[in-house]
Chains A and B, each alone.
Chain A
Amino acid sequence: MYRYDEFDRDFVHARVAEFADQVDRRLSGRITEDQFRPLRLMNGVYLQLHAYMLRVAIPYGTLSSRQMRMLAHIARTYDKGYGHFTTRQNIQFNWPALSDIPAILADLASVEMHAIQTSGNCIRNVTADHFAGAAADEVADPRPYAEILRQWSSVHPEFSYLPRKFKIAVTGAVRDRAAIQVHDIGLHLKKDADGRLGFAVYVGGGQGRTPIIARKIRDFLPEEHLLSYTTAIMRVYNLHGRRDNKYKARIKILVHETGADEFARQVEAEWAALKDGQLTLPDADIRAIEAYFAPPPLVPRPEGDEAVKLARLDSRSFSEWLQQNVVTHRHPDYAAVTISLKGIGEAPGDATDEQMDAVADLAERYAFDEIRVSHEQNLILPHVARADLKAVYDELVRIGLATANSNLITDIIACPGLDYCALANARSIPVAQEISRRFAALDRQRDIGELKLKISGCINACGHHHVGHIGILGVEKKGAELYQITLGGSGDENTSIGEIIGRGFGPDEITDAIETIVETYLALRSAPSERFIDTYRRLGPQPFKEALYAGEVRAA
């Protein structure tokens, strides 16, 4: 995994010292909130309903055990014993005192972490496929490129005051697990006919108030041009992106209003001046970064097959967990494990300090010291020998993280919503908890099959509801919470934006409504193998509308 060089280390330490001084000046009243606010936001410090919130960057969602233990330490020492993993592969602490934040940042710096650029109108944490480096279906690990983008974009003087925030996602597989088509820039790492690495470049995707699917503006960009081409995109956006209206300032609006073809033409024109210049990545530099992400020594462990077979005979729950939360690794003796942070009735994405410590121990012992955070708010052990799966499972059972629900209806994405968030209109977490309890029975969940349910507490869509097979958006209507349902969204290689199905539901109706939708699907699917999203795409919204609202139409 990537290790800080001298430059990174000096930069992060200098920033901690600088921010400590700014906090000191703020607390002693030498600078006002108006002066301080942009400074704290640049360092990931927000004010929420109950307290400050600190958002810590986890570059491309990759953590070592040492880093995870530090997150546990921060949760225990400065917070209330837990943290919240987000859809941006980051972690948020909900209760830090401003006066403690310099100490927290110093602790983070000691394990090569920080909170820089987790807020503000700059290039945010670059996200990546959480199975990167392990997935059987990828052409190459996308994280070296995410790291190159991270280094290039960190306090980039030209791109620190963009019209609006900017999010880049990278995947190295055709099967898109990084939702690249709903990012400002989405990069799909692939090989051309000659076997050279490069990217399909998507631009102008996003969720929020105006969900738009990204447009592909280049089918193959050779890898050495990553930074010059990205710079060209950023320049066109920086120049023409709207600064007069916050709601129209994202690049998606610019691409949409300009037209993808014309936008691509402008990027190419800009690029013509940059191409083959100093932003061209020397092959040696790419390979040097790549070396940091070299796969761990996956020694053959052929005993895994037999061990797994025996353990399955012995334990039905292990067998279910294996089927649900364990995926194929590119090495036949290994597997990638999803640790669900979606225990039945729990707050999605929350983990206690003890759980974080225990996951760190597991990673150290069984997974080459590597942990990932997925944008679906789970943790991943990307490289586990199949022979060790039972031991990992047993430990997960002990710490309460063995819920076998990956990709099922209770594997819900939910933003913090009105329980924490100052921007929220409605709560998300209790809705997720109630739906999770309603569908708790694993047999029923497995019968329903893959179903992505995503909840946001306001139109900012941090809970990715637009791309949920079932999306739930909390709004405030006449002072009360109301939940709008969208159906048919998807955040993979066949990205689609969900459609609003009809009038919203109150907090005491929403779980029933979800159950009605699920029962309708079960009755209509052509075969158990037809997923919810496929049934919806085949039949459209009508049968679901009828099931939800038929009574009202008749009554009217």
Chain B
Amino acid sequence: MKVLTANRLIDGEAVWYAADGWQETIQGAEVVADKDGEARLEAIGAAAYAANQVLDVAVIDVVLADGVIVPTRLRERIRAAGPTNRNDLGKQARSHAASAAA
């Protein structure tokens, strides 16, 4: 299975493609399971790159674990969460901040 990811042009933020556009977290990203889906994501990525919305576009491997999207490669898991030595930074900081606030 695969999802489409990139970094946003204006601020470099890691983003993933979902049905309603680019979003800042991997959960909820559009997951495809076949060649056609992959080709479609690639086309969307290429178009977004050409439209100067994103850069470093890549279609990456993921697995679904109880409905949670988990990238296969550590590199992509770190992009999706943030630096492993600082869970107050990156995407993970949002849930961190949310749970700290709760």
Query: Restricting to B57-102, which residues have a CB under 8 Å from any CB of A?
Result: 72-75, 78-79, 82-86, 89-90
Among B11, B74, B85, point to the contact of A97 (Cβ < 8 A).
Answer: B11
What residue of chain A has the Cβ atom nearest to residue B51's Cβ? A29
A98 pairs with B74, CB closer than 8 A: no
Q: A26–B51 Cα gap in the complex (Å)?
A: 11
A51 pairs with B49, CB closer than 8 A: no
Is A388 engaged at the interface, CB distance under 8 Å to the other chain? no
Is A347 engaged at the interface, CB distance under 8 Å to the other chain? yes
List residues of chain A with CB within 8 A of the CB of B84: 419, 427, 429-430
Is B33 engaged at the interface, CB distance under 8 Å to the other chain? no
Q: A32–B12 Cα gap in the complex (Å)?
A: 15
Chain A residues engaging chain B, CB cutoff 8 angstroms: 26-27, 29, 32-33, 47-52, 80, 95-99, 347, 418-420, 422, 424, 427, 429-430, 433, 479-481
List residues of chain B with CB within 8 A of the CB of A27: 9-10, 52
What residue of chain A has the Cβ atom nearest to residue B76's Cβ? A49
List residues of chain A with CB within 8 A of the CB of B86: 347, 419
List residues of chain B with CB within 8 A of the CB of A420: 83
Number of residue pairs spanning A and B whose beta carbons lie under 8 angstroms apart = 75
Given A97-B12, A418-B75, verify A51-B7 contact (CB < 8 Å).
yes
A98 pairs with B10, CB closer than 8 A: yes
Chain B residues engaging chain A, CB cutoff 8 angstroms: 7, 9-14, 49, 51-52, 55-56, 72-75, 78-79, 82-86, 89-90
What residue of chain B has the Cβ atom nearest to residue A426's Cβ? B74
Q: A427–B52 Cα gap in the complex (Å)?
A: 31
What residue of chain B has the Cβ atom nearest to residue A28's Cβ? B52
List residues of chain A with CB within 8 A of the CB of B79: 49-50
A50 pairs with B90, CB closer than 8 A: yes
Interface of B, secondary structure class, is loop
Given A418-B78, A424-B75, A429-B83, verify A51-B11 contact (CB < 8 Å).
yes
With A51-B14, A80-B89, A97-B11 known, 15 other A-B pairs at CB within 8 A are: A27-B9, A29-B52, A32-B52, A47-B55, A49-B75, A50-B12, A50-B14, A50-B79, A95-B89, A98-B11, A418-B75, A418-B78, A419-B84, A419-B86, A479-B74
Given A420-B83, A479-B72, A479-B73, verify A51-B13 contact (CB < 8 Å).
yes
B83 pairs with A50, CB closer than 8 A: yes
A26 pairs with B55, CB closer than 8 A: no
B33 to chain A, nearest CB (A): 20
What residue of chain A has the Cβ atom nearest to residue B7's Cβ? A47
Q: A49–B11 Cα gap in the complex (Å)?
A: 12
List residues of chain B with CB within 8 A of the CB of A433: 85
| A–B pairs, 5, beta carbons within 8 Å | A52-B12, A95-B12, A97-B12, A420-B83, A427-B84
B29 to chain A, nearest CB (A): 17
B12 pairs with A51, CB closer than 8 A: yes
List residues of chain B with CB within 8 A of the CB of A430: 84-85
List residues of chain A with CB within 8 A of the CB of B55: 33, 47
B34 to chain A, nearest CB (A): 23
Given A97-B11, A99-B10, verify A49-B49 contact (CB < 8 Å).
no
A316 to chain B, nearest CB (A): 31
Given A33-B55, A49-B14, A98-B11, verify A481-B74 contact (CB < 8 Å).
yes
B10 pairs with A97, CB closer than 8 A: yes
List residues of chain A with CB within 8 A of the CB of B74: 418, 479-481
List residues of chain A with CB within 8 A of the CB of B85: 347, 419, 429-430, 433
Q: A427–B85 Cα gap in the complex (Å)?
A: 10
B86 to chain A, nearest CB (A): 8
List residues of chain A with CB within 8 A of the CB of B51: 29
List residues of chain A with CB within 8 A of the CB of B90: 50
Q: A476–B78 Cα gap in the complex (Å)?
A: 15
B51 to chain A, nearest CB (A): 7
